[in-house]
Structure 1
Amino acid sequence: MISPLIALVLTQAIDFSTPVSSDRWMYPFNATPGDRITGSLFGIYGSPDFDERDAQIYLAFDLSAAGIPKGTPTSQIQCNSLTLMIDVVGINSIPYDPTVDSGESFVDPSLDLDPGRPVTLWAAAGRAGYTSCDFPEDGPFSLGPPSSGTRSVYCQGLDLNTLELVDVSNSVRDGIWAEPLAVGEIDGLDPGQPILPYDRMTFTLDVESLSARELLFGEDEFCGTLALVLASWQEPVDMSSGFHSFFMREHPDVLFGFAAAATLSGQIEIAPPCPDDLDGDGNVGFADLLNVLGDWGCTSCGSSDVDDDGTVGFSDVLSVIASWGDC
């Protein structure tokens, strides 16, 4: 059997809770990028000049400071849980909707059978020389005149029609079928009730969804920053009311502890770069083979069950032999 000490060396579990390190209201007419104290969310349908998910909020979290190093191969990252929390400013009376609405209901609001529009959470991505990892808090909305499909960072999802990672800012217009990573929920509030000032909205991310790991941590290596985007189809009333609004980290209520800007918490495991190196000595050899043979038939020995089929057996022996030598 592998000792608890060796198991600890083999897989590093990190529990963390970290405040947002960068938040930016991504709206074409934001006159104070990076310094704005609130961020609003709303959508507009049918305009060739604006994205359907028009006003978005970019949130970046420095997970390298939490112990998840920059450069970690994405294949070694196992995300067990992620939760985002952020407080609502609540300057507008909006009914609470914790359910995903269909794209058809954005075209024809009469098809939305429950009041309100949900707040959805997506992975962030960049264009025009920016990535979600290096976009500065006061960076430009776009490199040219603002128009549909040009924002520097945007909400990204997996198009379930094509299985490609795409910009979902105009998912209805572009015929994209994508699910958000999470939908905002407020504890103790019934659907349809008004969202009140200082209500805390919580997003429990679906870390098991298809391509979630690539969306959150990158396709090859983790850059050290986990970046997300909040969005909503909530349509404003005369552009002055009727939209979701959230506290940003520069808000005085946040600075003095009366409200909370975005916080990300969760648990992430970092697997060793060489899973067949069971004793962690940097080499796959006889000691690792003996570990597998010593756990033969075990159904609860995660480390020596290197192929993760639920039982330590012949396939694990073959895996060790196939990886024989230095890692």
Structure 2
Amino acid sequence: MRIRILAAFALIAATVASAEEFVFSTPSDDRWFYPFNFNPGRRPVASCFGTAGMPGFNDRDGTVIIAWSTSSLIAPGQGPDAYDVTSIRLTMTNVPGAEWAIDLTPDAWYTFDLNQDGFINGDGIPRGEEGDTDGESDDEDPGRPIEVFGVGFGPVRDYATWIETSGYIGSDSTTDRPRDPYPFVYQDGTGERLHCEDNVKGLHNEALGVTQFTPAPWAIGVPIGYVPGEQTTPFAIEFTIDLSASDGRVRRYVQEQLDGGRLFFYVTSLADTTMGGGQNEFPTVYMKESTDEGARPGELIVELGGGIPCDDVRKLTGRCRNGTLKSKVVFQDESHDGRQVTVKVDGTPHVLDVSGRRARLRLRNQSGSHEVCLTDPDCGLCRDVECS
């Protein structure tokens, strides 16, 4: 076993910056991504709603793809690790007159009308219990949340060339098709991207062994000052991205997109629709094209820096015993208790909670040679660990 301290350590430790916020008040691209949007990239508002379980339509039917060009304030092309992302916040503004119920928790896929009989849990028996005939359960709280996911591309569209006026790809009322771009989360364990546009029907993830599932959103929208049914003015919906989700892969997504110069998010809701209902029944937000009084386009706030200074890191340890790889990040004192660090093992990130002066990692059933590196804060500390 040997320890390697990279030459850049002294420079990094000496140049740690305090936290700085970068505000992007207008997106470069905002698109109501919906099959019957005949004016793509030019509409003043966009509605978020679902048609969960309905053949021929994506479960997440009315959606918003939003992107901000970040290169004017944050230099791209520095390599993902150069972006010490500590916070990402989005704000959308809903039109006045809203009536939809506030829901701040994800809803399980089986709390929707799976059999399309016009009722949710029509037999009144929770899914899986004796006498259940429809495989459905009641939702524990009213409403459906507004959820943010990552934006995946392919096989036709790509990150570099997609713009808000690009043609629609997805279900169109006749055929079940994956969307492109599509909302995604990372699969536990593999880190592969799971399509979320049809998570209730359970489509497009068969190759990964996944059918119906409940994705954990990267953020849930919190309405500010909103009173359903009595809202006469526009109001903000705020989202705080969970950067620690999926073992830090969400943070890595943000770092990679800042490196590319454009940051994308998918805004969706599975809010139910009714025949003849209007836009006040579900979240309806302003796009940058709106000239309405009180309209505000989507805002992005990126916070960089303010991470743990490398001078506060005492050491990184690594060893293997009986097939269990153990590593510790040890700090000079307990001033960082409750924060998080990232340790990569053979390139796979692991987000660790700091408890007192230490953050601990334990991986069982390991064999062979492994590289263990502290990457957040990026202090140039790595260890080679041999598991026999």
Q: Identify the TM-score tier after normalising by the shorter chain.
A: 0.7 to 0.9
Secondary structure of 1:75's counterpart equals helix
Distance of aligned partners of 1:77 and 1:236 in 2 relative to their CA distance in 1, 3 Å threshold = same
Q: For 1:23-64, what per-residue CA distance to the aligned partner results, in whole angstroms no more than 9, with x for missing partners?
A: 000000101001011001111122231110011100001121
Secondary structure of 1:57's counterpart equals strand
Secondary structure of 1:160's counterpart equals coil
Q: Where do 1:23-172 residues align within 5 Å? A: 23-67=30-74, 69-107=75-113, 109-110=120-121, 111-142=138-169, 147-160=175-188, 163-172=191-200
Q: Does 1:265 align with 2:309?
A: no
1: CA distance, partners of 2:300 / 2:88: 7
Q: Does 1:184 align with 2:221?
A: yes
* Structure 1 residue 14, shift from structure 2 partner: 3.7
2: CA distance, partners of 1:306 / 1:199: 36
Distance of aligned partners of 1:120 and 1:195 in 2 relative to their CA distance in 1, 3 Å threshold = farther
Q: Residue type matched to 2:15 in 1?
A: V
Q: Residue type matched to 2:54 in 1?
A: S
Q: For 1:146-186, what per-residue CA distance to the aligned partner results, in whole angstroms no more than 9, with x for missing partners?
A: 74333221211123375421211111222234211111112
Number of residue-to-residue matches in the alignment: 285
Secondary structure of 1:214's counterpart equals helix
Alignment gaps of 5+ in structure 1: 277-295
* Structure 1 residue 143, shift from structure 2 partner: 8.5
1: CA distance, partners of 2:306 / 2:80: 9
TM-score by length of 1: 0.74
2: CA distance, partners of 1:113 / 1:301: 40
TM-score by length of 2: 0.63
* Structure 1 residue 239, shift from structure 2 partner: 5.7
Secondary structure of 1:83's counterpart equals strand
Distance of aligned partners of 1:6 and 1:52 in 2 relative to their CA distance in 1, 3 Å threshold = closer
Q: Residue type matched to 2:31 in 1?
A: R
Q: Residue type matched to 1:142 in 2?
A: I
Secondary structure of 2:185's counterpart equals strand
The answer to whether the 8 Å contact 1:96/1:194 transfers is no
Distance of aligned partners of 1:8 and 1:201 in 2 relative to their CA distance in 1, 3 Å threshold = farther
2: CA distance, partners of 1:223 / 1:217: 9
Superposed CA RMSD: 3.8
Q: For 1:218-252, what per-residue CA distance to the aligned partner results, in whole angstroms no more than 9, with x for missing partners?
A: 49x83111100110011211164222211100001
The answer to whether the 8 Å contact 1:121/1:182 transfers is yes
The answer to whether the 8 Å contact 2:97/2:230 transfers is no
Q: Residue type matched to 1:73 in 2?
A: G
- Higher mean alpha-carbon deviation, 167-176 vs 129-138, is at 129-138
Q: Residue type matched to 1:131 in 2?
A: D
4+ residue runs over 6 A deviation = 143-146, 305-309, 319-323
Distance of aligned partners of 1:9 and 1:128 in 2 relative to their CA distance in 1, 3 Å threshold = same
Q: What residue in structure 2 maps to residue 284 of structure 1?
A: none
* Structure 1 residue 73, shift from structure 2 partner: 2.4
The answer to whether the 8 Å contact 1:74/1:213 transfers is no
Distance of aligned partners of 1:32 and 1:119 in 2 relative to their CA distance in 1, 3 Å threshold = same
The answer to whether the 8 Å contact 1:43/1:53 transfers is yes
Q: For 1:269-321, what per-residue CA distance to the aligned partner results, in whole angstroms no more than 9, with x for missing partners?
A: 399xxx89xxxxxxxxxxxxxxxxxxx9843899xx9989958xxx99xx679
2: CA distance, partners of 1:261 / 1:48: 33
Aligned equivalent of 2:237, options 197, 201, 224? 201
Q: What residue in structure 1 maps to residue 271 of structure 2?
A: 234
The answer to whether the 8 Å contact 2:81/2:255 transfers is no
The answer to whether the 8 Å contact 1:122/1:182 transfers is yes
Q: What residue in structure 2 maps to residue 292 of structure 1?
A: none
Q: What residue in structure 1 maps to residue 15 of structure 2?
A: 9
The answer to whether the 8 Å contact 1:183/1:203 transfers is yes
1: CA distance, partners of 2:60 / 2:12: 48
